[in-house]
Structure formats: C-alpha cells, structure tokens
Amino acid sequence: MSAIAVEGLVKRWDGHAAVDGVSFAVPEASLTVLLGPSGCGKSTILRLIAGLETATDGTVTIGGRDVTRLDPAKRGVSMVFQSYALFPHLSVAENILFGLKVRRVTKAERVRRLETAARMVGLDSVLERKPASLSGGQRQRVALARTIVAEQPVCLMDEPLSNLDAKLRAEMRDEIRRLQRALGLTMVYVTHDQTEAMTMADAVVLLNAGRIEQQGPPPLLYERPATAFAARFIGQPPMNLLRGPTPGTLLGVRPEDVALNGSGRPARVEALDYLGAETLLRLSLDGEEIIARAPGRAAPQPGDAVRIAWPAEAEHHFEDTGIRRDGGQT
Amino acid sequence: MRHVIGWLLLTPAAILLIAFTYWPIGATVADSLFSRGNPIRPSRFIGLENYALMADDPIFWQVLWNNALFALGTIPASITLALLMALMVNRALPGRALARMAFFTPTILPMIAVANIWLFFYTPDIGLIDQIAGLVGLPGHNWLGDPDTVLGAIIVMTVWKEAGFFMIFYLAALQTIPPELWEAARLEGAARWTYFRRILFPLLMPTTLFVLINAILNSFKLVDHLFILTKGGPDNASNLLLYYIFETAFSFFDTTYAATLTVVLLALLAVLSLVQYGVLDKRIHYR
C-alpha cells in the first residue's frame, strides 16, 4: 500500500533542469538509496516526493495514488532533514509529539507512541531536555523518533548522517536499517556516501546531473557498472579506466583485480598507500595511472619495475560516451 | 594588582556613566526635595511637598493618562505592524527590495521632518486627508485642533514612524530561522497559523522583547513631534509626560517641580524594565 513510483519526473528552475526525466520504483517496505555527487538532483527528487517542491513534469505515486499535486501533509510521508529541523524552543518530548498534536491524536495515544519511540531509539532519559543540550547523535535520534511516532508508511531521509562523526555514522546506519525493517517502512534515503548506499540499500539509484546513470541492487552496480561514471563513482579506490584496445573505447579494471605477477605487462611503481590490511599501489602503465590493491604490506618500493595482469572476465568495456559496450542494464 | 588594573579599565566607562547618568539622577532626586527659589526667597528643603503638589496637579494626571493612552495606542500597533511587514518582505515577492526600503523609509527621516509631513496630512480642508475625504463627500475636520482626535492623530503618525524600524529587527531574526522548520511542520500537517503560533512566534520572542523595550522607551521619550504639531494642546489633550517636564522647566521655569516630574518618569521606566527583564526574560528561549 505504500510502494512509490516516480515516472518521468522533471524539475526545472529558470530553464535549468535539476531533475531531468527520472523514473524509478520503490517496492513496499524496502529501502532505496538515491546516490550521487552534490548537485545531481537527489535531494530535489526527495523533496518532490515529499511535496516540498512542485514537479515541472512527471508523476509521483504512493500506494497507487497519484500524489504529484497533493499537499505534503496528505501524502503519508515523514521526513528526516539533514539539519534534523528540530524546534529549538521545545523539549525533546514536545518535538517528537508536535505532529501528533497538530493532527489531534488523543493524549493517551500520544503517550503510548512517545514511550514506544523513545524506547526504540534510546531517548528515555532526555525527554525533558532542549535540543541544544543534546549531542549530534541524540538530535539525530529525536528526528528518527519524530518519524516513528508519525506512523506514516513512507519515510524520506535527506543525508541524515552527514553531520555525525564516522563512528556514530556506522552505528546510526545499522539503527536506521533496523528501524526500517522492524517498522516495515518504505524508505527513500538520499546520500552522497557510497558506503551508506552499499551497506543499507535494497536498491540504489545512481544519479548524475539530474539523470539516472544506473539503478539496481548494490552488487549489480559494483559488478556490472552500466556507465563509466558508475564505474568511477562506486568503489574505493574507484575503478581504473584505461585507453581501450580499440580507439574510442575505455577499458575498466577494479584495483583488486590487478595482480602483480611475473608474466604480465610491465609497469612502474610510482607510490604506495599503506592502509594496514592492504596496500594501494599507484603504478604507471604505458603513461597511464593504474591502481592495484595488494593484501597486507606490499613488497615493491616506489621506482621498482613490476609486471601486472588481470583476468579477461574482470574487464569492463565502455564507449568513450561512457556507455557499457556489452549492454549494461541501466 | 590585577584588580587595580581591572578598576582602571573600568574607569573611562564609569566616569561617563557617573557624570551623565548617575550624578544627574541623584541631583534630580535632590532637587525635587527643595522649593523653587527666587531672588527674594532662596530655595529651601521642603521634603515631599513637591510630590504632594504634584498629586493635586490635574494636568499631571491628565498628562500621565495621555501617556498611558499613547503607549497603549503605539506599542501593540507598531509591533504587530512591524511583524506583519517583516513576514511579508521575508518571502520571495516581486519588488521585495523596494518594499523593504519603502517600509524602512520613515525610520531614516528625523522626527521633526515626519511631523512636518503629517502636519500637511492633517491640516484642515487643504490637508491630504481632508482633500481625499472631500472627494468622497465627507466634511473637513480639524484633526489636530479637536481634543477628541488629536491624540489619535499623533498615535497614528508615531506607529507609521516606528513600525519600519522594528520591522528591520524582525526581518533580521526571521532570516536566522532555518526554512526546514516550516517544511518539517508542514509535513506534519501544521497550517501556517499553527506554525506561526507554536514555532515562529516563540522563536521571535527575544526580538519581541527587545522591540517592546524600545517601543516602551520611545512612548515616553518621543516628543519632538509635539513641538511641531500641537505643543501639547489643545487644552493639554496631546500633552505627554516628557513634554510637560520640558514645559515646566523651560517655559514656566519651575525647575524643582520639573525635577519632581522627572523622578516619576525615571521611576516608571525603572519599574517597566524590572518587569521586562525580571519576568519576561525567564520565559523566553534564547539560542
């Protein structure tokens, strides 16, 4: 009843298209991540689904109902903002219950929902405090509790973790995923962080300049990138893109597929990035840079000549327009 | 040694405050306890006699009442108008810069100039108001000459003058409120009015307090326009406390009685600021 379908969505400002004909579907009770660099239109799409912006063209359906022109409050969505949008003069409890009071939910029901939500996100002890006296993680939890008590079937998240430090981010990632599953929420999650996308998503929609580059489950995006952009954007370090065997083509190889052995093509070690569990070797191969990933501490030193090779099935071929040659699924 | 330096650093401000604030207050209070001197009978200590005289002075009570009406007429109206104007020009609106400037223009004009402009509006028969009223067939009216309308006329002018100034503070405060708050409230189903009442207005309270203090001070302080428009008349119908003090001191040359009236003005302002900072301040959310 809460599946989302976006069809041919366009948002134009003064002739510039921030979102340029985007279509995707989010099945009920699943988590779809909108991923892309800044300015790719991912937040705008989220705001169009929420109804905070008006679409220039295209439709948004939620649970089979066309909501493209519907008031945001009537769409059955809740939203977590990047800044959390907490009301600074209200206590945590009042912040969580604001929407329920507006919607005239009974007192008994409000108390019940507040208790449940506070327990789920671990805010029981700070309900009377003001947002200013909370840590970043706690503020994030207040924003989550607000969406929990709303009991809306759809939850929209706009870069909810970008204001947190790395350790907390990993924790909250798990927590959001756990909540989404426990409550059966249909969630659209916007981020520019591929780790969040890869670890949390049922499906990823990768965006660039207002258009979809590729969509699908995370392994598909990693293993069969449909475009050179997808190949470079997903994976850390990104995929190596070299001149292809025929003119006007690109050859992509993941760093972990590049093996150092005695029989491959000759290359020279330019620099090493030692990361503990692995080492990234920055090599030059016929005047092009290529990164190889070796486990542990690598033996070669900068300046050494090495030979490298990769299996044929690890190669990805792209036209110089960026499109995958063997028909990547977009 | 450290506290010596501390006191030295405080000295310049302390000298100015003592010379121009505390010493004159003390001198005023002292003056109010003496009789008016003349060449034959020198000034002498008479205790609270000036205050007894004041309590029997019908003009004093009328002036105080006028001032209360003036405050009640100007303060809520100018603050409400300021907030409305600020909300209006805080949005995307064609000609927004022009609207902001138009609202602010009365502030940059000197009160004397404003009074002259409004004198032209209020002049019987040939003034702007009577000319417009004449177009629709209404009779002329001497707005400033009629004791029933003179205070109202001055209140309207003061609201016009002050609202634009207060608007600037509201506008600045509104710009610091993140737009996501409205978006979050809107998604929860809050109407604009609910958002204003529950979120926006409470967040603007520090500004409202600041503006309120200024408005109250101004309602006692602003008398420049009386010199141009009415000189407190007719029959003291537009006379305000500060103008009455001025008249007493510099037209009637009764300096000790003027000092007595000044003490009352000071006491009034002190009580008001105590109420503002003591009571309201505790109930305001500051970020």
Whether the CB-CB separation of B57 and B50 falls below 8 Å is answered with: no
**Sequence-distant (≥ 6) Cβ neighbours of residue A189 within 8 angstroms:** A31, A32, A33, A34, A157, A160, A176, A196, A200, A201
Tell me the chain A residues in contact with residue B198 when contact means C-beta distances shorter than 8 Å: 98
**Domains within chain A, CATH numbers bracketed:** 4-223 (3.40.50.300), 238-319 (2.40.50.140)
Q: Which residues of chain B are within 8 Å of residue A134 when distances are taken between CB atoms?
A: none
Which DSSP category does B140 fall into? P
Q: Do B285 and A99 touch (CB under 8 A)?
A: no
Q: How far is B80 from chain A (nearest CA, A)?
A: 22
Verify whether the Cβ–Cβ distance B187 to A83 is below 8 Å.
no
Encoded amino acid at B208, one letter: T
Of A51, A85, A89, the CB nearest to B285: A89
The CA distance from A149 to A78, in Å, is 10
| B192 lies within 8 A of chain A by CB | no
Rounded CA-CA distance A134/A93 in Å is 13
Domain boundaries, chain B: 49-283
Q: What is the pLDDT of residue B152?
A: 87
> Does residue A327 surpass a pLDDT of 70?
no
Q: Does B189 touch chain A (CB under 8 A)?
A: yes
Largest CA-CA distance found in chain A, in angstroms, rounded: 75
DSSP-assigned letters across all residues of A103-159: TT--HHHHHHHHHHHHHHHT-GGGTTS-GGGS-HHHHHHHHHHHHHHHT-SEEEEES
The DSSP bridge partners found for residue A288 are A285
pLDDT of residue A220: 93
Per-residue pLDDT tens for A264-322?
A: 889 999 999 999 889 999 999 988 999 999 888 877 888 888 999 999 889 999 988 88
Identify all chain A residues contacting B189, using CB atoms and an 8 Å cutoff.
Answer: 73-74, 99, 102-103
Closest CA to A197 of A33, A12, A27, A21: A33
Please indicate if any CB of chain A lies within 8 Å of the CB of B197.
no
Per-residue pLDDT of chain B (287 residues; tens, 9 = 90+): 788 998 999 999 999 999 998 999 998 888 888 878 777 777 788 878 788 888 888 888 999 999 999 999 999 999 999 999 999 888 877 888 888 888 888 888 888 888 888 888 888 777 788 888 878 877 777 777 788 888 888 899 889 888 989 999 999 999 999 999 999 999 988 889 999 999 999 999 889 988 988 888 888 887 888 887 787 778 888 888 888 888 888 888 888 888 889 999 999 888 888 887 777 777 777 76
Q: How many CB pairs under 8 A join A and B?
A: 59
CB of B91 within 8 Å of any CB in chain A? no
- Is B206 in a helix, a strand, or coil? helix
Q: DSSP string of A180-195? A: HHHHT-EEEEEES-HH
ω into B58 cis (within 30 of 0): no
Q: What is the pLDDT of residue A330?
A: 45
pLDDT digits (tens, 9 = 90+) for A128-145: 999 999 988 899 999 999
Cα dist from B145 to A80, A261, B239, B251, whole Å? 62, 106, 13, 22
Give the model's pLDDT for residue A95.
93
Q: Which residues pair with A6 in a beta bridge?
A: A24, A60
| pLDDT for the residue B287 | 61
Tokens 């034959």 locate to: B40
Judged against a pLDDT cut of 50, whether residue A329 lies above it is answered with: no
pLDDT of residue A230: 93
Contact flag B188-A52 (C-beta cutoff 8 Å): no
Q: Of B20, B18, B48, B21, nearest to B33 (Cα)? A: B48
Q: Report the distance separating Cα A123 and Cα B151, nearest Å.
A: 57
The answer to whether B287 contacts A73, with C-beta atoms less than 8 Å apart, is no
One-character DSSP codes across A244-260: -SSTTEEEEE-GGG-EE
* DSSP-assigned letters across all residues of B51-99: HHHHHT-HHHHHHHHHHHHHHHHHHHHHHHHHHHHHHHHTS--TTHHHH
Q: CB A73 to CB B188 under 8 A?
A: yes
ipTM of the complex: 0.85
Amino acid identity for residue A283 in this structure: L
Rounded CA separation B171/B99 (Å)? 13
Domain B49-283: CATH class, spelled out: mainly alpha
Give A9-50 pLDDT, tens digit per residue.
Answer: 999 988 888 999 999 999 999 999 999 998 899 999 999 999
Chain B hits for A48, Cβ within 8 Å: none
Of A73, A81, A83, nearest to B189 by CB-CB distance is: A73
Q: Which residues of A165-175 are buried (b: 16+ CB within 10 A; e: fewer)?
A: eeebbeebbeb
